[in-house]
A and B are shown apart, each in its own frame.
Chain A
Amino acid sequence: MRGYVLRRLLLIIPTLLLLVLGTQFLATLAPGDPAENYARLHSTSGVATPAQIAHARVLLGLNRPFFVRYVAWIAGAVHGDLGVSFTRNTHVAAEIGSRLGATLELALTALGLTIIVATPLGAFAAMRHGSWFDHTLRAGSLLLASIPGFFLAYVLIEVFGTQLNLLPVAGREEASSIVLPAVALSAGGIATASRLLRASMLEVLGEDYIRTARGKGLSSVRVVARHALPNAALPVITVLGTLLGYLLAGSVVIETVFAWPGVGQLLAEAVAERDYPTIQGLVVIAGAFFLIINLLVDLSYRFLDPRVRLAKQ
């Protein structure tokens, strides 16, 4: 077991090195000269002289060869230094650090909302398999999975912000500011999770131990809550990592629409300004985050399902 965890942790390192290489390669390949952009942004006239561009090139370290920059970036990253943003004069690591809380707050709220809403929906649809509720859920989840997140966000703004004037539509100042972004972000996840839970619940409801529980005379609520749901939830737990990834990717668009000051908005801005160090830093941090999350999900599965553990021994 310890060997397995160690091996998985060690495998994270080459994957991250590959991500750094890939992002740096793409940044080199991209048209346009970052040094010129930087010099232009920082000159008062809006035009950069050749001397200013040359100065910017040295300042940003772009005069060094590709491989030297690669090694230097990794050496910096090991010490928590992800370089300096091209456009905002801040350290990338500090900028990401100051925004991470807002994004995690939003993503975890959306994840919580997804679980709270999807669990009863999926369970009930499985219990009433083939009923009108089941069909409505299928149609509803297909619709939710088809709406672009930013479109749903604007519909929510129009209805709850402009028409009903109930909820704040931008920023993070009030406690209720999180409601609309969290709802917009969780919609797709609710669709996926409720369908998944329904499918796995249908399988579990056909098992012998459910028949035994029914035979004992347990009420149908008790059978579902105590016997079926915990077992049906197992396959859903394996996709929680994917779901969280989906939520964080969606937060790029949702944070932009609702002016939520998180890393998603930072990525959208960095992408628009082609601020390579910020993009690279975000990609590598997100990569490390997801590799660890996926490892934790795999481990929790082995921990929660005794059958997986026994099969391994």
Chain B
Amino acid sequence: MTAQEAIAWSEAVAAVPEGRRWRRLRVLLRDRAAVAGAVLLLLFVLASIFAPLLTPYGPNTTDFTNTLSGPGVHHWLGTDDLGRDELTRILYGGRVSIGMAVVAATLSAAIGLTLGLISGYFGGVFDLVLMRVVDGLQALPGLLLAFAVAGLLGAGLLNIEIAVIAVWWTGYARVVRSMVLSLRERAFVEAARGTGATNRMIIIRHILPNVVGPATVLATLELAHVLLALAALSFLGLGVAPPTAEWGTMLSQAKDFFDRAPQLLIYPGLAITLVALASNLMGDGLRDALDPRLQRDVTVRCVAAR
């Protein structure tokens, strides 16, 4: 999303009276694809939280008499090279995989939001330096930079989180900064300053509420990207250390048995795909519900139909 789009959104959302906001929520709820995405995501989250209730096995319970077996009655999705139940590992793996993606997306948004607010509101040297850093980080494709950062820091859960956050905050910072640049010139900020409000009060009470909405939408849209980036890092062997069940690491391990047991690669791959698809569907619906250009889309359709 470009800065202009973000500004358009924030203004459209801010301009909508309370009643119409509910209508937008209803638009979102009517979008069957978005609702399906939300339900699917919720199912995955609940299944991984309640994993101990759903499966009789532990994620690291090995059974060397029954390795690399296909789907069956006792092991619905079969077992891996150490005889661990694949379904159990996928359920438990969701905790780490989805959890890591949510943490990375939230922290990137929080860091980008804070730095963007300060940079946009105060300007000056801080703004100049921050924007050069953002330029530098955005010179490279995000995933490529995340590979490099994780490669320099070494493998591990914390390091790939740092790598992804280090790359992803820049987008939020840039968008929020340009929104603040236009917000701080608006009449209500001027009025607040006139009543003697301090800079801190103006930022927290008057500017932040106008920026939080679009930043949340951005974070939802980015959840799928972050999940896929973390999976790619894990796949290259940079992720969580082996005994822990995590989808990307499971995939990375499964590639060694690909010719004998391709299903070990297919299941975690499908899990990642489904969760990414669920967040994409949700994000797409959210964008449609909030996008002021949707109305224009309808007029375009009328013209094009003639």
Contact = CB atoms under 8 A, between A and B. Distances in A.
A166 interface: no
A157 B254 CA distance: 14
Contact of A151 (B259, B269, B300): B269
Contacts of A270: 151
A148 B150 contact: no
A291 interface: yes
A272 B147 CA distance: 10
A62 B275 CA distance: 45
Interface in B116-155: 132-133, 135-136, 139-145, 147-154
A290 B140 CA distance: 6
B304 A154 contact: no
A218 interface: no
Interface in A215-264: 242, 245-246, 248-250, 252-253, 256-257
A291 B269 contact: no
Looking at chain A's contact residues, the main secondary structure is helix
B78 interface: no
B30 interface: no
B200 interface: no
B146 to A, nearest CB: 9
Contacts of A151: 251, 265, 269, 272-273
A304 interface: no
A29 B162 CA distance: 13
Nearest to B274: A146
Contacts of B300: 129, 202-203, 205-206
Contact of A142 (B139, B228, B272, B284): B284
Contact of A202 (B151, B154, B297): B297
Interface stretch (A15-23, A92-100, A175-183): A15-23
A51 interface: no
A13 B273 CA distance: 40
A105 interface: no
Interface string B262-306: 100110010011101100110010000000000001011101101
A147 B266 CA distance: 11
A108 to B, nearest CB: 16
Given A148-B228, A149-B232, A268-B236, A249 B143 contact: yes
Interface in A254-298: 256-257, 267-268, 270-272, 274, 276, 279, 282-283, 286-287, 290-291
13 contacts: A15-B135, A23-B152, A146-B274, A148-B231, A148-B235, A154-B269, A155-B269, A158-B258, A162-B259, A211-B303, A249-B142, A272-B151, A274-B154
Interface of A: 11, 14-15, 18-19, 22-23, 26-27, 29-32, 126-127, 129-130, 139, 142-143, 145-151, 154-155, 157-158, 162, 202-203, 205-206, 211, 242, 245-246, 248-250, 252-253, 256-257, 267-268, 270-272, 274, 276, 279, 282-283, 286-287, 290-291
The 4 closest A-B pairs by CB, nearest first: A271-B151, A151-B269, A245-B141, A146-B276
Given A248-B141, A282-B148, A283-B144, 15 more contacts: A15-B135, A30-B153, A150-B235, A151-B272, A245-B140, A249-B142, A249-B144, A250-B143, A252-B147, A267-B147, A271-B238, A279-B148, A279-B151, A279-B152, A283-B148
